[in-house]
Every structure is written in C-alpha cells, then in structure tokens.
Amino acid sequence: MAATWWIMISSGILVGIGASFTGLGGGFLMIPLLLFLGFSAQRAVGTSFLAILVISISALVAHNKLANVDYRAGLLLGIGGIIGAQVGARLVEHVSTAQFKKIFAGILVALAIYLFFKK
C-alpha cells in the first residue's frame, strides 16, 4: 500500500512538471492558440491553466455524477502534481518562447506517434 502511495505521488510530480512546463491537459489546444495570438510562452501556459481549472471543475462535477472519479488516486496524483507544478513553472521561466515552441511541438509529435502506433 505504501509503495502505491509513492508511485501515485511520483507520477503526479512527473505529470505536474510536464503539465506545468508545457500546459498539457486542455493546453495542447489552448497553448498553440495563445501563442498564435501573440502571448509569450510563459503567459500562454499560465493563462491556459486558469482555463483548464475552470474546465476541470466542470468535468469533475460531470464525472462525479457518472461515478467515474477515483478520489484517492486523484488526490494522490494531485499531491505530487502540486510539487511538480511548482518545479515546471520555474523551469519554463528559463526557456525562450522560440525554444518553448520547439519543445512543445516535439512533445506533441512524440505523443501523436505513440498514439498512432499503440495497439
């Protein structure tokens, strides 16, 4: 049981770092839009998270009504995500918008390839 707890928190940290650095979540759609609109990478990521927060609350309510929420797992991932998000937010401050676009595009391409070839 303790090992599962640490795995969940560690996963949350990694997800939090990745999400906070790139804005992934609904951010994979919002970030390119905000960059296109002239936002800096840092402002695009921060703004995306505000939008995702609002969307996530709505989604949580809907999924709760459908009994599709594992609160224990979600809270453990969230605990790790809090830590990871703080790290990721600080990391993105050291990346130019041009570098960010390349990193973000690389992540999206890698994800697309993985999903395309996954059985």
Look at residue 76 and tell me whether its pLDDT is greater than 80: yes
Pairwise pLDDT comparison (56 vs 101), residue with the higher score: 101
**How confident is the model over 78-91, as a mean pLDDT?**
94
Query: Does this model's pTM top 0.85?
Result: no
Distance CA 34, CA 63 (A): 28
